[in-house]
């Protein structure tokens, strides 16, 4: 049972991810933009974050950079979601500090298994 | 506007516009005329000199010398007469008288010749008159009477003899003077002839030297006025040809050369304008291209977002109701999921096609065999699910081509996945990489599946076209796959060929130029040069 921050500006996708991950028994904090995602991570100290890349205002990439810059959050596992699947975008995603990168449309089952993989990896560490 | 603005700034520099220059004919003609005149003068001088020389010579040979000869003949006659008289006086023989008479007969004619010539010459006339006087004195006082008188031994009269000698001596003296005068005149005439002859030659020689000097000056003048402007023009043309874009020819020299220079400048200006237009068009194309890329990228992003929700929830619903649905509901769900997958594939392909159609960038040398093996790896798993094997045969040495790796990879995957898709279960797909002489590499992907109907082969590359047997066999596809392959291979300056027999199988051939032997060059963007 983990606390997961989910950020996406599309309400349906947000709910979809919330549905799937809460079915697995996790506590979900859902927000709609990058700034809220950073605030939620700092306030709630989640175990994992799922961030959409294309968000208005602060993008997922800016959010992840801010998160990595915070000494308290530097080890937070982050999965990026995006509709852009160019090689360059993937590289940028990983370069900014993401632990995983999933392209839309994605299979919720796939997302769930990656979340579990990251959670078990990081809980094994701590 | 208080200052007039020149219509063609930058052209025709160096000279006021109003000076059109002299035509080449106007420059050359005076020179030629000068030479013509000089030649005429030389000819005239030569002719006149020759005529004068000839006249002098003929004066000498036809007048002076015969007269001199006649004068000498007079002396001969007189001497003969004197000798005849002496002989008559000594021998008294009548043959002496005959000699005398003969000589006497010749005398007047010779004297006449001398007189004729001397008539024009006052000094000579005087001398000849004196000679004739003395001759007549000798004739009258001595020779005539003596020849008539008795001759032979015993007729000698010393006083008479002495008188005769004196008179003849006077004649001889007078003749000597005359002969001297003649000699002088012969010499003078000869000198005159020689003078004329030499003078003519000298005059012609001087004129020739003058001509030589004038040629030199004219040559220098023509070089300056014609050759030099032409050479300057040639230099300007060469500068322009070496893409010195701002170079312009100077409009100077003869009229024709100026016209050429002006025409050349106008041409260069037009070229410059055309280049500017071309540059603007290139920029616009680039802007349009970027706009298109952005548009396609944005659209695909917008399409993928709702698709995420649709496909995500479909999956979750199917999971939650697994085993609980009636067959017809199962089929409904299945059809829906299938078409969501189709939508996904369409968006992916459209994006790929758009990217393939835009300019090729990120070119690097890559080994075809490696790319093929990587693509095969991707596709092998899909094939394995239906028992389809993929076999690769390639040469040991690397086959390097200049390519956009991601794009080429995409094309190969498309071809391979088609081959797998259209194969029968448990079939085999054969991939061959081989070198084609002289500088090409060929990738052949052969399947033994459903093939393509002959009549539909031509339309295969068109957008969204799917062969009828693919559709009837319900094989999934967007109809864009081959178009993507074709576009990518075109961008790589290669060829795609398809051979197929319906029911037997299909072989797709991709031909690319080996790196370093033509085909693509790194600076594909023409605005980069």
Q: Which of B257, B276, B303, B315 is nearest to B14 (CA)?
A: B257
Judged by CB atoms closer than 8 Å, whether chains meet at B305 and A13 is answered as: yes
Does residue B278 sit within a domain?
no
pLDDT at B135 over 50: yes
Judged by CB atoms closer than 8 Å, whether chains meet at B312 and A20 is answered as: yes
Q: Are residues B369 and B221 in the same domain?
A: no
- Choose one of B227, B251, B270: the last residue of a domain: B227
- Choose one of B227, B249, B264: the last residue of a domain: B227
| % chain B with pLDDT above 70 | 91
Gyration radius of chain A over CA positions: 13
pLDDT level of residue B375 (50, 70, 90 thresholds): very high
Q: Please report, in tens digits, the pLDDT of each residue of chain A (126 residues total).
A: 899 999 999 999 999 999 999 999 999 999 999 999 999 999 999 999 999 988 888 888 889 999 998 888 888 999 999 887 666 677 787 888 889 989 889 999 999 999 999 999 877 654
Q: What is the mean pLDDT of residues B255-271?
A: 89
Element (H, E) at B176: helix B158-222
Chain B: closest CA distance from residue A19 (Å):
9
Judged by CB atoms closer than 8 Å, whether chains meet at B312 and A106 is answered as: yes
pLDDT at B472 over 90: no
Of A13, A19, A109, the CB nearest to B308: A13
Judged by CB atoms closer than 8 Å, whether chains meet at A20 and B316 is answered as: yes
d(CA B327, CA B321): 12
Q: What is the mean pLDDT of residues B478-499?
A: 86
The owner of tokens 């690319």 is B512
* pLDDT for residue B357: 79
Average pLDDT, chain B: 85
Q: What is the ipTM of this complex?
A: 0.91
For residue range B69-93, list pLDDT tens digits in order: 999 999 999 999 999 988 888 888 8
pLDDT at B7 over 80: no
Q: Are residues B219 and B365 in the same domain?
A: no
Q: What is the mean pLDDT of residues B488-500?
A: 88
CATH of the domain at A33: 3.40.50.2300
The residue of chain B nearest to residue A12, with distances taken between CA atoms, is B309
Does residue A123 sit within a domain?
no
Of B304, B309, B344, the CB nearest to A16: B309
Q: What is the mean pLDDT of residues B107-116?
A: 90
Buried b (16+ CB within 10 A) or exposed e, B409-447: bbbbbbbbbbbbbbbeeebbbbbbbeeeeeebbbbbbbb
Of residues B13 and A77, the one with the higher pLDDT is: A77
Is A88 an 8 Å CB contact of chain B? no
Q: What is the mean pLDDT of residues B154-165?
A: 86
Q: Are the beta carbons of B447 and B432 closer than 8 angstroms? A: no
Name the residue range of residue A24's domain: 3-118
* pLDDT for residue B1: 47
Distances (CA, A) of B289 to B18, B286, B346, B490: 50, 5, 21, 18
Q: Are the beta carbons of B526 and B437 closer than 8 angstroms? A: no
Does residue B448 sit within a domain?
yes
Chain A residues whose CB is inside 8 A of the B316 CB are 16, 19-20, 108
Total domain count for chain B? 2
Q: Are the beta carbons of A18 and A6 closer than 8 angstroms? A: yes
d(CA B152, CA B162): 17
Q: Which of B393, B452, B441 is nearest to B419 (CA)?
A: B452
pTM: 0.54
- Using CB atoms and an 8 Å cut-off, which of residues 12-71 of chain A contact chain B? 12-13, 16, 19-20, 54
Among A11, A105, A107, the strongest candidate for a mutation testing the B interface, having the largest count of B CBs within 10 A, is A105
For residue range B15-36, list pLDDT tens digits in order: 555 577 888 888 888 888 888 9
Of B313, B319, B344, the CB nearest to A16: B313
d(CA B333, CA B319): 11
Of B300, B309, B315, the CB nearest to A13: B309
Name the residue range of residue B384's domain: 360-523
φ/ψ bin of A97: left (φ > 0), alpha (ψ from -120 to 50), beta (otherwise):
left
* pLDDT for residue B518: 56
Distances (CA, A) of B398 to B178, B365, B366, B441, B443: 124, 11, 9, 11, 13
Judged by CB atoms closer than 8 Å, whether chains meet at B304 and A13 is answered as: no
* pLDDT for residue B517: 64
Does residue B78 sit within a domain?
yes
pLDDT at B474 over 70: no
Distances (CA, A) of B431 to B384, B394, B404, B509: 16, 8, 21, 10
Total domain count for chain A? 1
| % chain B with pLDDT above 90 | 27
d(CA B439, CA B148): 137
Judged by CB atoms closer than 8 Å, whether chains meet at A13 and B312 is answered as: yes
For residue range B427-468, list pLDDT tens digits in order: 999 999 998 888 889 999 999 988 888 877 777 766 666 777
Does residue A99 sit within a domain?
yes
B195 CB-near residues (< 8 Å, 6+ apart):
B56
Q: Are the beta carbons of B200 and B45 closer than 8 angstroms? A: yes
* pLDDT for residue B526: 44
Q: Are the beta carbons of B93 and B87 closer than 8 angstroms? A: yes
pLDDT level of residue B272 (50, 70, 90 thresholds): confident
Judged by CB atoms closer than 8 Å, whether chains meet at B312 and A10 is answered as: no
- Choose one of B227, B260, B294: the last residue of a domain: B227
Distances (CA, A) of B325 to A20, A119, B13, B329, B338: 21, 34, 91, 6, 17
Does residue A79 sit within a domain?
yes
Q: Are the beta carbons of B376 and B414 closer than 8 angstroms? A: no
Phi, psi of A98 (to 5 degrees): -75, 150
* pLDDT for residue A94: 80
Does residue A12 sit within a domain?
yes
* pLDDT for residue A89: 72
Q: Which of B310, B350, B309 is nearest to A81 (CA)?
A: B309
pLDDT at B334 over 80: yes
Q: What is the mean pLDDT of residues B308-330?
A: 92
Does residue B310 sit within a domain?
no
Length of chain A: 126
The residue of chain A nearest to residue B310, with distances taken between CA atoms, is A105
* pLDDT for residue A16: 95
CA A26 to chain centre: 14
CA B77 to chain centre: 86
Q: What is the mean pLDDT of residues B321-333?
A: 90
Element (H, E) at B452: none
Buried b (16+ CB within 10 A) or exposed e, B98-115: ebbeebbebbeebbebbb
Q: What is the mean pLDDT of residues B488-510?
A: 89
């Amino acid at each position: 049972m983990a606390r997961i921050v989910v950020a996406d500006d599309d309400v349906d996708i947000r709910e979809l991810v919330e549905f799937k991950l809460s079915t697995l028994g996790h506590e979900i904090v859902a927000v709609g933009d990058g700034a809220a995602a950073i605030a939620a991570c700092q306030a709630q100290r989640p175990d994992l974050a799922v961030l959409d890349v294309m968000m208005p205002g602060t993008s997922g990439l800016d959010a992840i950079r801010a998160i990595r810059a915070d000494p308290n959050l530097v080890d937070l596992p982050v999965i990026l979601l995006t509709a852009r699947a160019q090689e360059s975008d993937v590289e940028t995603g990983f370069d900014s500090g993401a632990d995983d990168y999933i392209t839309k449309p994605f299979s919720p089952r796939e997302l769930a298994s990656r979340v579990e993989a990251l959670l078990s990896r990081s809980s094994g560490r701590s | 506007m208080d200052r007039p603005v020149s219509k063609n700034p930058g052209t025709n520099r160096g000279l006021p516009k109003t000076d059109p220059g002299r035509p080449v004919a106007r420059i050359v003609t005076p020179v030629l005329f000068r030479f013509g005149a000089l030649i005429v003068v030389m000819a005239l001088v030569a002719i006149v000199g020759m005529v004068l020389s000839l006249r002098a010579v003929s004066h000498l040979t036809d007048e002076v010398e015969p007269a001199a000869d006649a004068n000498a003949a007079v002396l001969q006659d007189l001497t003969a007469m004197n000798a005849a008289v002496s002989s008559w006086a000594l021998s008294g023989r009548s043959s002496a008288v005959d000699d005398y008479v003969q000589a006497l007969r010749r005398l007047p004619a010779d004297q006449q010749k001398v007189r004729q010539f001397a008539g024009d010459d006052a000094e000579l006339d005087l001398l000849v008159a004196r000679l004739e006087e003395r001759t007549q004195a000798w004739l009258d006082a001595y020779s005539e009477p003596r020849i008539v008188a008795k001759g032979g031994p015993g007729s000698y009269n010393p006083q008479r003899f002495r008188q005769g000698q004196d008179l003849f001596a006077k004649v001889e003296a007078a003749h000597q003077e005359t002969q001297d005068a003649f000699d002088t005149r012969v010499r003078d005439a000869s000198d005159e002839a020689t003078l004329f002859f030499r003078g003519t030659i000298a005059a012609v020689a001087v004129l020739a030297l003058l001509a030589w000097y004038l040629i030199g000056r004219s040559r220098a003048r023509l070089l300056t006025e014609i050759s030099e402007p032409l050479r300057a023009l040639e230099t300007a043309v060469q500068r322009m040809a070496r893409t010195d874009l701002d170079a312009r020819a100077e409009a100077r020299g003869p009229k024709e050369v100026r016209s050429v220079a002006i025409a050349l400048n106008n041409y260069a200006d037009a070229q410059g304008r055309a280049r500017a237009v071309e540059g603007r068009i290139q920029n616009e194309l680039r802007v349009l291209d970027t706009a298109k890329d952005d548009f396609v990228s944005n659209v695909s992003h917008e399409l993928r977002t709702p698709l995420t929700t649709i496909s995500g929830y479909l999956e979750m619903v199917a999971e939650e109701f697994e085993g609980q649905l009636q067959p017809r509901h199962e089929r409904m769900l299945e059809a829906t999921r299938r078409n969501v997958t189709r939508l996904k594939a369409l968006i992916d392909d459209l994006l790929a096609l758009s990217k393939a159609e835009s300019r090729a960038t990120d070119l690097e040398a890559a080994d075809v065999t490696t790319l093929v093996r990587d693509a095969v790896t991707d596709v092998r798993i899909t094939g394995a699910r239906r028992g389809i094997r993929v076999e690769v045969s390639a040469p040991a040495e690397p086959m390097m081509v200049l390519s956009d790796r991601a794009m080429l990879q995409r094309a190969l995957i498309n071809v391979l996945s088609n081959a797998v898709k259209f194969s029968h279960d448990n079939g085999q797909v054969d991939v061959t990489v081989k070198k084609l002489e002289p500088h090409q590499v060929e990738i052949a992907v052969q399947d033994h599946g459903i093939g393509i109907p002959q009549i539909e082969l031509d339309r295969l590359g068109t957008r969204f076209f799917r062969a009828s047997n693919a559709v009837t066999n319900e094989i999934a596809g967007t109809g864009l796959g081959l178009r993507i392959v074709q576009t990518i291979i075109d961008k790589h300056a290669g060829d795609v060929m398809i051979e197929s027999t319906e029911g037997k199988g299909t072989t797709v051939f991709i031909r690319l130029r080996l790196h370093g032997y033509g085909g693509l060059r790194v600076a594909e963007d023409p605005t980069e040069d």
